[in-house]
Structure 1
Amino acid sequence: MIKVNEKQIPFTPGMTAADALKAAGESPGAMTLVVVDGKVVPRDRLDMEPLADGAHIKLLTIVSGG
């Protein structure tokens, strides 16, 4: 199983971070960080980021202000 935020989705061999996000119904925007197992992955590399069974993906919204 892969965990995307709190949603669990089935793992399939060869799955990438982009595949997992699509399966979870998530689409990170410009102000969203994608963190895979504690490592920030740039959005343009999500389709090249391989996942292992049990991976955790978190989407974190960037908030600015003062």
Structure 2
Amino acid sequence: MPKKNSKRKLVGLVSENTGHRVYYTTKNTLATAGKLSLKKYNPFTRQHELFVETKKSLGRNEVKARKR
């Protein structure tokens, strides 16, 4: 898990064929501007497929900064 003040963000990888979110990884947002896409093994289809970056959570676990 990335630290709170880190430039690395936690992202999920979604399979293009099935739409399952199987893998999570961290990404340096300063070095990689575009979406991350990796070819990884999909255990549902038992094949190597292309996985594309998406948000880690769908708004459930994101904490907004407090106003001071």
The two structures share one fold, judged by TM-score above 0.5:
no
* TM-score w.r.t. length of structure 1: 0.29
TM-score, normalization: structure 2?
A: 0.28
Query: Higher helix fraction: Structure 1 or Structure 2?
Result: 1
If asked which structure has higher relative contact order (CA below 8 Å, sep 6+), I would say 1
Q: Which has the higher strand share?
A: 2
Q: Which of the pair has more CA radius of gyration?
A: 2
